[in-house]
Amino acid sequence: MMKNIKVTVEYDGTGFAGWQRQQGGIATVQGEIEKILRMILQEPVSLVAAGRTDRGVHARAQVANFFTASPMEPSRIAHSLNSLLPDTIRICEISEVPLDFHARFSAKDRQYRYYLIEHPSALYGRFSGCSFGNLDLGRMCEIASAVEGVHDFTAFSRPDRDNEGRYCDVSECRWGRSGRALVLRITANRFLRSMVRYLVAAMVSAGRGDFSSMQFRQMLDAGIFTGTFQPASPNGLFLWQITY
């Protein structure tokens, strides 16, 4: 009898080429988990995730599901996975769910958080981006509020052949402080490829005084970014929470 198994995964993305399985033996989070699952269950396994994270991006609570005909109990599957997976990947929760559950399409919204420090740090640099200078947090907060709502985020994303939609409904976007880090909290029904990293890069640029919040609103409304910048570094970004 086929079962649908839901897993919640925590991972340090530093050493992985993102979540999605790739050819040529490249290490990815999906690839590592599927490889161990095939060993444990002795059958082909394909994971479906709530969202695909880029190279170097982390996850506090990625959600995925897979189908199996194995009679093995979910708790035993999780124990076996955690015994064999690298230390940088951890199965936090596992359960059997209805057959119509889909980690991606059943999700209502996704929350990402971006950790940003203003000066380099030997201790915090692995899990945070760096602006290499002080920022105007007030201006960054103004821009964050402009991001909320339904917008075409094409100008703040990378092309994605597997995801042709352009509009996202952002229900929350705000900056705060946590210790020495500035933290962006952003929640939406969906995200375009590298969208959060491009938005962070734009906000950091504005925080340096390169443009005003009004200019950002004009760029967002027009769907065209008139400056040039690279997306913020991936090591500060975490897939934080999926809501179903």
The amino acid at residue 231 is P
Residue 54 annotated in active site = yes
Whether 109-243 and 3-97 are alike in CATH topology: the answer is: yes
| CA distances, 170 to each of 86, 155, 161, 163, 215 (Å) | 34, 15, 22, 17, 19
Q: Across residues 226-231, what is the average pLDDT?
A: 76
pLDDT at 165: 67
Which of 54, 87, 100, 221 is catalytic? The answer is 54
Element at 59 (helix H, strand E): strand 58-68
pLDDT in tens, 70-117: 999 999 999 999 999 999 999 999 999 999 999 999 999 999 999 999
Please tell me the predicted confidence (pLDDT) of residue 163. Answer: 64
Q: What's the pLDDT tens digit per position in 153-185?
A: 988 888 776 666 689 999 999 999 998 999 999
% of residues, the chain, pLDDT over 90: 83
Instruction: Identify which has the larger pLDDT, 223 or 5.
Output: 5
| CATH of the structural domain 3-97, one choice from 3.30.70.580, 2.60.120.340, 2.60.40.420, 1.10.3660.10 | 3.30.70.580
Class of domain 109-243: alpha beta
Q: Nearest CA to 7 among 87, 70, 101?
A: 101
Q: Any idea where the domains of the chain sit in the sequence? A: 3-97, 109-243
The per-residue pLDDT for range 31-74, each reduced to its tens digit, is 999 999 999 999 999 999 999 999 999 999 999 999 999 999 99
Q: How sure is the predictor about 227, in pLDDT bands with cuts at 50, 70 and 90?
A: low
- What's the predicted TM-score (pTM) here? 0.93
**pLDDT on residue 162:** 64
Task: Pick 126 or 155 by higher pLDDT.
Answer: 126
